[in-house]
Structure 1
Amino acid sequence: MNPLPHPFGRTLAALGGAVLALGLLAGCGNDDTKTAGAAGTPTGDASTAPTSPAASDGVSAPTGEPSTGTPSAIPAYYVGKTPQGDRLFREFTQVSGVDKLVAAAAAVTSGSTVDPDYRTVWPQGRFASVTQSADAITVTLKDDGWLQAGSLKPAEARLAVQQLVYTLQGTIGKRLPIKVDYAGKPAATLLGVDASAGLKAAPELDVLALVNVTEPAQGTVVSGSFTAEGRASSFEATVPWELRDASGKVVKKGFATAEGWADKLYPWSTKVDVKGLAPGSYTFVARTDDPSDGEGAGPTQDTKVITVT
């Protein structure tokens, strides 16, 4: 398994998902937090740009610290459309006043995303508890409703399980297996997926979108310039990007170079100068390079609507 880099950098995430997580699970555990900003906070050249998770693997947020009551950023994985079909995109969200694993699981199952292009495929409901031991993360089911896939197609059920696995592992920063308990004993399945040996993360290229923007977050306010970053597996590590105005016109474009490609997703980062642009709403677009020149399924892309001041 690949080493797990530290996820904390400059990415922003809104409090909406955190508020919902707290509403679902208030009082279910202690909080292990790191300070992070909220979407809508000015960034770019501003000296007060907040600190939050960077565009790395997203699986090394440290745990075990006492609660401070300050917001903590966690990576949540959601489903979005790509040329390869539905894949997982990562979005950071803030939580406070509740155990991070509990909040992470609630974020996945509630599907309260900041980016409207993302969604969850989980059926309605929530876990009874989510706990961590030295060798596993254990999710406990409230009833037998999630033992089988129900109305989910097999592919949807497998992707839902991977949503949970990637999110919980990312929250603790360890590739621990996910065990499932029901009625005081291990459950053999979760959403119809075999859980008897513990649920593990599938290879990144099988389940993750091939490009993901983690900064700027949806709704970020920028001024002067901003750093865009994320992860990608793109041909020859090239990640083309564009900035479009409200009419869809491309007003800036360029490319970033990721740290690698082909075998997994790698971090990429670029600085975008917005000096001279009229204040207003813009869409930042990052995509994979398309060596087929349109002959294949087309590039994967991720978009974030931001505000330039």
Structure 2
Amino acid sequence: MRPPRVRRLVVAALVVLLAGGAAACTGSGNADDRRIPANPGAPTGAPTSAPPATRAVPVYYAADTPAGTRLFREFHAVAPGDPATTAVRELLGTPAIDPDYRTLWPTGVTPRGPVTHGGGEIVVDLTGIGRAPASKAVARLALQQLVYTVQGALQSTDPVRVLVDGQRADQLWELADISVPVVRAEQTSVRSLVQIDAPADGATVGREVVVTGEAAVFEATLPWEVRQDGRVVTSGVATTAEGQRFSPYRFTVTLEPGDYELVVTEDDPSGGAGRAPLTDTKRISVR
């Protein structure tokens, strides 16, 4: 786990990298994580120990939801260079910034070498595969976690061939098929339907808080709340670019200094007759 001071620097860098909706991806519904800042400078006023240049890479984690375990995206500030391999290393070895998220991969799995991309496929060579997940469903979602992360880092939807210790294999953990390159699963079947991209969890922000993300919600309607000590201090409704498919949203809320929780949620046209709405939350400090 990152030391607390380093973690604060990462969150501070992400505030700058994702400001102005830079992390709001295309509204095409492809979720290919485009418009990621490629080579931004160091955050203004950042400590001198911060890297001279960073870029943001999308990393997918998992969390439990009323619709079962789903993938959630967050952006990590990393040194420029090899975004795909770096993103895979973040996925496998770095805890999520948001404590609600977790990786589905066992401890000790690492890339055996750099991720390669050519001939219409992405190749990820893994070693230290370790213990199998609890079920086929978890193993398959872990594969999708990898696929979404590496495709997002490369801004490509090419399928992902997974090697184990440099060799092709038919099965991963004897639970998931890797005999052929793994294609991206349909988004609404694996991703949370509601996602806050910015601010990052734990961010310190100014009074004008710009909230961006992606959602696939009924009639493009996205209710939101700001809570403090469990009490709703303000609320509203944002609109996504399109309804019923993943598309970006953006809204701004003005807050007094203090600590808050941002909550975005699906609209519930059933009036409570269906499953509970999916949500995403972020803790922020306004200064």
With normalisation by structure 1, the TM-score equals 0.77
Distance 1:285-1:136 versus aligned 2 partners, 3 A rule: same
Opposite residue 232 of structure 2, the aligned amino acid is: V
CA distance in 2 between partners of 1:176 and 1:110 (Å): 24
CA distance in 2 between partners of 1:150 and 1:42 (Å): 33
Q: Secondary structure at the match of 1:60?
A: coil
CA distance in 2 between partners of 1:84 and 1:102 (Å): 31
CA distance in 2 between partners of 1:254 and 1:64 (Å): 33
Query: Shift in Å at residue 130 of structure 1?
Result: 3.4
Aligned match of 1:160: 142
1:273 matched to 2:258: no
CA distance in 1 between partners of 2:22 and 2:140 (Å): 27
Query: Shift in Å at residue 301 of structure 1?
Result: 0.5
Per-residue CA deviation, residues 96-121 of structure 1 (Å, 9 max, x unaligned), is 16622121111111251110100011
Opposite residue 267 of structure 1, the aligned amino acid is: P
Query: Shift in Å at residue 63 of structure 1?
Result: 11
Aligned match of 1:177: 159
Aligned match of 1:55: 24
With normalisation by structure 2, the TM-score equals 0.83
Distance 1:110-1:183 versus aligned 2 partners, 3 A rule: closer
Q: Secondary structure at the match of 1:78?
A: strand
Per-residue CA deviation, residues 159-187 of structure 1 (Å, 9 max, x unaligned), is 10000000000000001111122354422
Match of 2:126 among 125, 141, 157: 141
Point out where structure 2 has 5 or more consecutive residues left out of the alignment.
Answer: 26-30, 40-50
Aligned match of 2:47: none
CA distance in 1 between partners of 2:284 and 2:167 (Å): 47
CA distance in 1 between partners of 2:190 and 2:114 (Å): 23
Query: Shift in Å at residue 199 of structure 1?
Result: 0.7
Instruction: Report how many residues are paired.
Output: 265
Per-residue CA deviation, residues 62-110 of structure 1 (Å, 9 max, x unaligned), is 8999xx9621110000001211011000000011166221211111112
Match of 1:130 among 110, 114, 132: 114
Could you tell me the percent identity over the aligned residues?
Answer: 35
Distance 1:51-1:256 versus aligned 2 partners, 3 A rule: closer
Distance 1:243-1:41 versus aligned 2 partners, 3 A rule: farther
CA distance in 2 between partners of 1:289 and 1:231 (Å): 14
Aligned match of 2:11: 39
Alignment of 1:236-275 (within 5 A): 236-245=219-228, 247-262=229-244, 264-274=245-255
CA distance in 1 between partners of 2:38 and 2:279 (Å): 36
- Could you say what the CA RMSD is over the residues aligned between the two structures, in angstroms? 3.0
Farther off after superposition, 180-189 or 84-93: 180-189
Distance 1:196-1:222 versus aligned 2 partners, 3 A rule: same
Point out where structure 1 has 5 or more consecutive residues left out of the alignment.
Answer: 1-14, 21-36
Aligned match of 1:283: 261
